[in-house]
Amino acid sequence: MHRHLCSSILFSVGMSLLPQFLIARDWDPIDPSILKLESPRIDPGADAEALFWQVWLDDRLLGGRQRQTVETHYLRIKIFTERGLEEQTTIDVTEASSEIEVSGIKGRTIKPDGRIVELERAAVFERLVARADGVKVSMRSFSMPNVEVGDIIEYQWVEYRDNTFVRYQRLDCQMEIPAWNIIYRVKPLAERMDYGYYMRTQDFGCGFGAFIEESYGLTRYSRMEVSDSKAFHTEPSMPPESQARRWALVYYVRDKFTDPAKYWPNYGSDVYEALKPELRIDGAVKEAAARIIADSTSDADKVKRLREFCLTEIRSVDGDWSDATGAERGNREDNKRPSDTLKSGLGTARDINLLYIALADAAGLDSRIVLVSRRNQRFFDINFLNPYFLNAFITGTNVDGEWVFHDFATPYIEPGMLQWHEEGVAALVAAPKAKDAQWLETQVSPPSRTTTRREGTFDLLADGTLVGTVFHTYTGHQGVALKHEYDGLSDLERENLITETVTDRLPGAEVTGIGVMNADSRTGSFSYTYSVRVPGYAAVTGRRLFVQPNFAKKNAAARFELNEREHDVYFNYPWREVDKYTINIPDGFTLGAPEPPRTIRVPNIGAYQAKLTHESGTKIVYEREFVWGEGGTVLFPQSAYLQLKGIFDDQHQYDQHMVAATRAAE
């Protein structure tokens, strides 16, 4: 399946009055030697290579203030292997949406002898595909006709987006296959240029170089090109794609400041002034603040009460956790000030964050808007003087000289924590005056705050069947993630999901008695329990049973399987795992001497210990603890990969440890 090539082309950057018929492109001529090409040019092991990917980016005025973004894409790909044939035959163009109109889809297959097979209109369809985190979306797709190894396929399409007028444009310069040439032609945004803006490019590894001005048809474009682009490959535990992938950003600036020490404080002051009207403290806010903090004995207690009020008394209209009805969401008016949020008892995450700041200020606390970067997008660089990556805000309150941060984007976050991608990031505290704005870094929750705890009690039968009950509980970031996964599901859907989780790893397992706790509760750890019967869990060899005490890791794959790696290794957050399993062996069987504890020590980063004991010779008690990311260490360079892989390989080997139970001679 071919990757959605234009998923990142989200924004507009040009102004064009071209009529629609001029958007269509003719087919480019093909060098006969390319038709006969039998092997890749960039990567000898490539299954397919893009000969080119060309993109034209235009904005045009439809009349009045209505604008339309037009993107034209043209790709030509050479197929070298059967796998390349399988991956490239079905093309996913873009998400099916009322906001996007797709037209001009055309394609053709070109045989090595020059014969051409045209794409028929009936081959264009919509289909559901899975995305990251299990999200399913409908894609506009088409299947290329009569494709065989050695063929060239080429196709075009045009996307129209109405009422788009944004000053950022992302340009990808890596595909999932090698590309001989990737070419962007951007028409500068005339309206912005007229008001003193300049078009700039921030290059994140593309090596585009300077713009090249050229005419294409009747239009003047700024042309950027990259040649011999290597394929982008995803790897487990890698940095966010915008960090690992090569791309560039087109944006518009007025060049007010060129020094980070001046740019960012002034930006913080500008944001403070822009949001000041939405932080108005009126009588309703003062009365609510006084009621909430009545008889509080410290600033820390005031902060705690205000946080709990915003989480429990104001209902969020965002996400599956919201208990707001469809009518309430559809009929509500936007909150323009904190008292509107108080009155309605409803608000977006932005509304609730602003309400908290207003209440805290009314309570006599120094509370501010705090602008943060998000490390699930890209690692922040203070020297890139643009707020593109400083694109979210949370709340900050000064308590006894220390800044305490909160974010009301989700009610599941535990006190003292932020969303994982907002922890350990650059944070700009906004202020009325630029000189008072300051850079801080948000806290990183230690491994103990994100703990996975698994327990189980089992009976092992003489035929190798394992029968018992399992209990899991999750705190911190893992708990938040699972609540988001489960909160919108019915009881049956939750049970099915847990069953699939078990049977995917243990085929043939029978899962019953499932209970899920705190899946949509704002407090309490997410947890679930189930009973399980696993035929053939233990291997039976003559008079001996070989059983793996670590139930959670039975048939689990190693975290890192390949010996080579392209990207750095990146874990989202520190975590801790605690396991305890008790297994009663069958009557008539005995256990040998237990193995000594297995340990791994990685100074200042993590540790592993697994301990095995035998009680009365008839019971296996297995205990395990794994801690990783101490001190907030979650990013490791690619050069350290083999060393890191060795640590996790040792852990995996210890997790697979088997215990032998021997039947007494008859």
Are 463 and 589 in contact by the 8 Å Cβ rule? The answer is: no
Q: How far is CA 521 from the centre of its chain?
A: 23
**Which element (helix H / strand E) includes 335?**
none
Q: Which of 17-26, 351-360, 609-618, 637-646 has the lowest mean pLDDT?
A: 17-26
The whole-angstrom separation of Cα 658 and Cα 544 is 12
- The packing angle between helices 476-486 and 491-505, to 10°, is 120
Angle in degrees, 0-180, between the axes of helices 349-362 and 299-312, rounded to the nearest 10: 150
pLDDT of residue 95: 66
Instruction: Give per-residue pLDDT as tens, 32-66.
Output: 999 999 999 999 999 999 999 999 988 776 665 66
H/E stretch holding 208 reads none
pLDDT at 238 (0 to 100): 97
pLDDT tens across 261-296, in order? 999 999 999 999 999 999 999 999 999 999 999 999
* CA 593-597-603 angle, 5° bins: 170
Residues with Cβ within 8 Å of 555's Cβ and at least 6 positions away in sequence, in order, are: 505, 506
Query: What are the pLDDT digits (tens) for 490-544?
Result: 999 999 999 999 999 999 999 999 999 999 888 899 999 999 999 999 999 999 9
Q: Rounded distance, CA 47 to CA 49, Å? A: 7
Using CB atoms within 10 A of its CB, is residue 45 exposed (0-12), middle (13-18) or buried (19+)?
A: exposed
pLDDT for 13: 33
pTM of the model: 0.88
pLDDT of 232 strictly over 60? yes
**Which tens digit of pLDDT belongs to each residue from 297-335?**
899 999 999 999 999 899 888 766 666 666 666 667 889
Q: What is the pLDDT of residue 16?
A: 36
Q: Which two tokens stand for residue 428?
A: 């700009």
Higher-confidence residue of 325 and 480: namely 480
